[in-house]
Every structure is written in C-alpha cells, then in structure tokens.
Structure 1
Amino acid sequence: MSRITPFSSPLLLGFDAVEKTLERLAKNGDSYPPYNIERFRGTEGSAERLRITLAVAGFCDADLEVFTEENQLIVRGRQTDDTEREYLHRGIAARQFQRTFVLADGMRVAGAELKNGLLAIDLDRPEPERLVRKINISVKD
C-alpha cells in the first residue's frame, strides 16, 4: 500500500526535501528552551525581518553556539557542572539543549545578541530578484 502525501502531486517537482523536513519537525516535541518569534514588517523598499528570542538564563556566551547548516539554524547550549560548589539544594540543573529552526530559501542570519538571559537571533530575507529566462525550443525534423 503506497502512502499518499500532499507532495505526491505530479505537479510538485523536487519537494521531497520539504516533505522530509515537515516529518522531522512533527517528531520534534522538546520545548526547552522556550522561545518567541517576532516579525518586523519592512518599510517601503526594505526587507522583512524576523527575530528569534530564546530564554537561556544561566548560559553565558561561551556555553552557546549558533550556526547554520544547509537550510537550518541550529542553537546549542552546553553547561558543565561546577564541582567546586557544594549545594544544599539544587533546583537549577545544568542542562544541554539543541533547538533547530528550518529556514526558508533566501533567509540570512544577520546577527545574534545575548542580553539579560535572552538570546536574540535576527534574520532577514532580502527581496529576491525576479528572474525570467526564455527557454529556446530546438526543432528536430
């Protein structure tokens, strides 16, 4: 029995990667760290911008890593246990995380800033050039 998906249409060519990405996102259920995504609408002639803000209290810049790999923005946080401290109660765990965001074609990471326990990552998407290309038809009789 074959599986029918929204991308099974013969008119949608080359969307296999999109389908796999959607399946991977559906499986990702981790909610740590919490995050916001804001949209800043561009004014006339300027591009739309997005800002992803992650709550990373307790992490310093050396504990965080932000990078892109293919069409994904990956944010990793790694904390190590401080063995020099003696805790009477430990309610704040040193934990690790990896949060992945899939970027649309043309999205660029403009920068990242850590302030007051919030990591803000700015993204923009420049207006794409409209590309029209005429395809020559060869005649073979």
Structure 2
Amino acid sequence: MRTLDFAPLLRSSIGFENLNRLVDFATRGDSEAYPPYNIEKLSEDVYRISMAVAGFSRDELELVVQDNVLVIVGKAGKGEESGRQFLHRGIAKRAFERRFQLADTIKVTGADYRDGLLDVELKREVPEHKKPRRIEIGGDAATGAPILDASVSEVREAA
C-alpha cells in the first residue's frame, strides 16, 4: 500500500484533523458496485443521490445519518418469495449497506422512493458563524493609535 505524506498540506491548514479518516474512507477501495447510484448537483447548494433499488419495498430500506456519514441500508426480505420459482433471476435483490461521507455543512432534507429509485435530497446549509464576514481594522488613521470605546477607556482608568 502506498502511503501519502500530508505534512506539507497540514502545515498550512487549520481544522483538518479528520483528514486521515477521510483519506482512509476514500482509499478503502469499495469494489462493491451494488446498488448503482448517481450523485447530482441540482443547484449551487442542493444535491440528490439517486440509488437504483428495484425490488425493495420502503420497509426494507433504512437511511441513517450519524457523524457526517449517510448510511443507506437495504434488507432483502425472504418472506415474499416463498412459493415463487425463478427460471432466471436478473434483478438483484440482495442486502446492502452504502455509506456517503458528508461535509459538516451538508444536511439530508428528505428522501423519496418511486419507480425503483431511492432519491435522497441534500442541501448545503452554512451556519451564520461559518459565513465570511468583514473584520474592521481599528486605529486612528492620523496617529496610528488605537481608538478606544468610552466604556473600555473608563474600565482601564478604573483599574
């Protein structure tokens, strides 16, 4: 296995402590291609995951979001197939678990199951404290001395 050195990247980055976990997740090599899925970008902040889950009922599908991971689980029920005899079984209906790593700002807003497709709606919601904001630079332009608020000056004089 090839190891990657992230030291140069981490020297100029702040708050990416979980980078190793993300890289492990991405390089794990999910060779399982079942069930097939699409990821669409519908607008600047809206996404959709469409997963082909033909043959599954709503009761056999489960979606869970925990620690920024969306887990979609399909549990194939055996009860409905009793008494059926297949000459050819081309529609795969086997249990699966598919995981999607979500950014901190991505929220799952809903899910819909129609015509054998499971659609999961996602939206980027950036909290107010994470949005860019302008920081004013204080100081007197003529002298370079800091401009103090009256209340701050009074507190300093009292001390």
TM category (shorter chain) comes to 0.7 to 0.9
Q: Which has the higher strand share?
A: 1
What secondary structure is seen at the aligned counterpart in 1 of 2:120? Answer: strand
Q: Contact conserved, 1:7 with 1:16, CA < 8 A, in 2? A: no
Matches for 1:2-17 after TM superposition, within 5 Å:
4-6=4-6, 9-17=10-18
For 1:49, the equivalent position in structure 2 comes to: 46
Q: Quick one: percent identity of the two aligned structures?
A: 31
Equivalent residues, number:
127
Unaligned stretches of 5+ in structure 2?
137-159
Instruction: Tell me the distance in 1 between the aligned counterparts of 2:7 and 2:115.
Output: 43
| Counterpart code for 1:122 | E
Instruction: Tell me the distance in 1 between the aligned counterparts of 2:20 and 2:40.
Output: 25
Give the C-alpha shift of residue 86 in structure 1.
3.8
Q: Which has the higher contact order (CA 8 A, sep 6+)?
A: 1
Q: Contact conserved, 2:56 with 2:93, CA < 8 A, in 1? A: no
CA pair 88-20 structure 1, distance change in 2 beyond 3 A: closer
Give the C-alpha shift of residue 59 in structure 1.
0.3
2:20 is the alignment partner of 1:22: no
For 1:113, the equivalent position in structure 2 comes to: 112
For 1:137, the equivalent position in structure 2 comes to: none
Q: Contact conserved, 1:49 with 1:122, CA < 8 A, in 2? A: yes
What secondary structure is seen at the aligned counterpart in 2 of 1:123? Answer: strand
For 2:143, the equivalent position in structure 1 comes to: none
Give the C-alpha shift of residue 4 in structure 1.
4.6
TM-score by length of 2: 0.69
Q: Provide the aligned C-alpha RMSD in A.
A: 2.4
Larger Rg: 2
Give the C-alpha shift of residue 98 in structure 1.
0.5
Instruction: Tell me the distance in 2 between the aligned counterparts of 1:119 and 1:87.
Output: 27
2:36 is the alignment partner of 1:34: yes
Runs of 4+ more than 6 Å apart: none
CA pair 126-86 structure 1, distance change in 2 beyond 3 A: closer
| Counterpart code for 1:119 | L
Q: Contact conserved, 1:7 with 1:19, CA < 8 A, in 2? A: no
Give the C-alpha shift of residue 87 in structure 1.
1.3
2:57 is the alignment partner of 1:60: yes
TM-score by length of 1: 0.77
Unaligned stretches of 5+ in structure 1?
43-47, 135-141
